[in-house]
């Protein structure tokens, strides 16, 4: 994005109360006539969002309620169900599982991530689905918080 578009949208001050501020910032930029999108920045920067499982759980729980409920359903159908079918001897399940793994291998190679982790992609997706369910439940119950402040 261009600095002028960022300033015209009000910058981070305009989205400071948002839970998913990066998405809100891009929406604000687009609403004020700017352009933006997603790009692979692995050649210029690195980022470690969380140091441990507790931090990861808290961080994702605060924001995954914004994900449409159909998303974890589709992720389960595309990545978890084929692995289960493969374990039961299904050739189609095996092939679908391998396609999912291939996507993760390509991503890992591009970003410098561990390629062997790709084999456990269905486990990662299952964890994401569980975190999404946790976030939706906490949001409905009014129990979302982040760094000491209530979000619900």
For β-strands 145-146 and 149-150, DSSP reports them as: antiparallel
Is residue 33 a contact partner of residue 8, using CB atoms and an 8 Å limit? yes
Query: pLDDT digits over 63-121, tens only?
Result: 899 899 999 999 999 999 999 999 999 999 999 999 999 999 999 998 888 999 999 99
Cα-Cα-Cα-Cα dihedral sign, residues 94, 101, 129, 24: negative
For 103, residues 6+ apart whose C-beta sits below 8 A from its C-beta are 121
Rounded-to-integer distance, Cα 88 and Cα 107, Å:
27
pLDDT of res. 152: 64
Query: pLDDT digits over 34-63, tens only?
Result: 998 888 888 888 888 899 999 999 899 988
């Amino acid at each position: 994005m261009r600095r002028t578009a960022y300033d015209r949208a009000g910058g981070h001050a305009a989205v400071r109360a948002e839970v998913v501020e990066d998405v809100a910032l891009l929406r604000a930029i687009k609403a004020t006539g700017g352009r933006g999108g997603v790009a692979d920045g692995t050649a210029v920067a690195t980022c470690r969002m969380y140091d441990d499982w507790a931090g990861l759980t808290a961080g994702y729980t605060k924001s995954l309620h914004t994900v449409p409920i159909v998303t974890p359903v589709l992720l389960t159908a595309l990545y978890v169900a084929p692995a289960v079918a493969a374990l039961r001897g299904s050739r189609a399940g095996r092939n679908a599982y391998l396609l999912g793994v291939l996507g993760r291998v390509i991503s890992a190679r591009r970003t410098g991530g561990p390629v062997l982790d790709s084999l456990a992609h269905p486990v990662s997706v299952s964890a994401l689905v569980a975190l999404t369910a946790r976030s939706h439940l906490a949001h409905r119950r009014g129990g979302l918080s982040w760094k000491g402040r209530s979000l619900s």
